[in-house]
């Protein structure tokens, strides 16, 4: 399927979603918003896909919402304002990229090839694993633009690094270098720009070799556990475990262990 302002590729069980407006540092256009949600839903529903990599084309990851579109009256913010005024198209919050990204069961690796600012930062924080090029920056510049982290940042930041560090970054509108992001714990690894995609694919390939149903169930239970008690999560995990015991992959995993070989999982 062809997408607007976005590239989509599936190779060896890895779907690579590339924000593709390099001339605008991949600023989010109205077309890209729709494409993003559609591409992630396609990847999440495709049995051949086991891992998703999100990255940007050119020298930037995502510079946030396209302010030029906003000024011209074609951006997302103007659509919301028009809706609030009783005019314009309906804004689908449930189908918006941050919500669709959060609900995606497949593991998502963010390959931060450059600056992630505003909305772009929130998208990066919504991924499960972030690997950064040494040229990347994380720019929490919302308060310097008169807005707040509207696309998940207020939810993710305190959970990822704790209240005090999140408050420091968000209230001050800090811009973090790749190394500073590593020290804060916002990225798991920093590599050279040339090595970024190789590193992201290596991690994705290692995840893809594991039983996909088990990986996806683990992600669902981790996500659910963020908002429930220990006892409730243990109960939900048990309910997830029962169908896994009946899967072909569980049988294959046990058999491979006994035969001392690498398992070949089918996702069934």
Domain(s) labelled CATH 1.10.12 in the chain stretch across 212-259
Rounded to whole angstroms, the Cα distance separating 33 from 192 reads: 29
Q: Output the DSSP codes for 175-238.
A: EEEHHHHHHHTS-SEEE-GGGHHHHHHHHHHHHHTS-HHHHHHHHHHHHHHTTS-HHHHHHHHH
Mean pLDDT of 27-41: 94
As its CATH architecture, domain 6-208 has Alpha-Beta Complex (3.90)
3-state secondary structure of 115: strand
Element (H, E) at 17: strand 14-19
Positive or negative, the CA dihedral 209, 214, 220, 223 is negative
Q: Of 125 and 145, which is predicted with more confidence?
A: 125
Report the pLDDT value the prediction gives residue 71, as an integer from 0 to 100: 58
CATH tag, 212-259: 1.10.12
Residue 56: the pLDDT is: 98
Beta bridge partners of 10: 15
Per-residue model confidence (pLDDT) at position 84: 47
Q: Which pLDDT tens digit goes with each residue over 170-196?
A: 999 999 999 999 999 999 999 999 999
Give the per-residue pLDDT at 151.
Answer: 87
Range(s) for CATH 3.90.226.10 in the chain?
6-208
Q: DSSP letter string over 61-113?
A: EE--B-HHHHHHT-SHHHHHHHHHTT-SPPP-STTSHHHHHHH--S-EEEEE-
Span 68-125, pLDDT tens digits? 765 565 555 544 444 444 545 456 788 899 999 999 999 999 999 999 999 999 999 9
Conformational region of residue 152, where left means phi above 0, alpha means psi within -120 to 50, and beta covers everything else: left
Question: pLDDT class for 27, splitting at 50, 70, 90?
Answer: very high
Averaged over 15-20, what is the pLDDT? 97
* % of the chain surpassing 70 pLDDT: 91
Q: 189 is written with which tokens?
A: 């690894």
Please write the tens of the pLDDT for every residue from 210-241: 999 999 999 999 999 999 999 999 999 999 99
DSSP 8-state symbol, 151: T
Decide if 49 contacts 86 (C-beta within 8 A).
no
User: Helix or strand or coil: residue 25?
Assistant: coil
């Amino acid at each position: 399927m062809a997408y607007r302002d976005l590239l989509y590729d599936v190779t060896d069980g890895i779907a690579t979603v590339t924000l593709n407006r390099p001339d605008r540092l991949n600023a989010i256009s109205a077309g890209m918003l729709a494409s993003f949600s559609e591409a992630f839903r396609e990847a999440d529903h495709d049995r051949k896909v086991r891992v998703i990599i999100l990255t940007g084309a050119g020298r930037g990851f995502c510079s946030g919402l396209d302010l030029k579109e906003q000024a011209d009256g074609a951006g997302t913010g103007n659509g919301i304002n028009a809706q609030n005024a009783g005019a314009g198209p309906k804004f689908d919050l449930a189908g918006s990229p941050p919500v669709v990204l959060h609900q995606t069961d497949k593991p998502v690796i963010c390959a931060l090839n450059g600056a992630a600012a505003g909305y772009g930062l929130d998208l990066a924080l919504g991924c499960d694993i972030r690997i950064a090029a040494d040229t990347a920056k994380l720019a929490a510049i919302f308060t310097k633009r008169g807005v707040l982290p509207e696309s998940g940042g207020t939810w993710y930041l305190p959970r990822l690094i704790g209240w005090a560090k999140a408050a420091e970054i968000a209230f001050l509108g800090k811009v973090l270098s790749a190394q500073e992001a590593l020290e804060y714990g916002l990225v798991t690894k920093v590599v050279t720009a040339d090595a970024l995609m190789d590193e992201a694919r290596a991690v994705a390939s290692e995840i893809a070799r594991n039983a996909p149903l088990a990986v996806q169930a683990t992600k669902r239970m981790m996500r659910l556990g963020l908002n429930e008690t220990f006892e409730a999560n243990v109960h939900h995990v048990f309910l997830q475990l029962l169908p896994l015991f009946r899967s072909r992959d569980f049988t294959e995993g046990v058999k491979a262990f006994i035969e001392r070989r690498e398992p070949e999982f089918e996702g069934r």
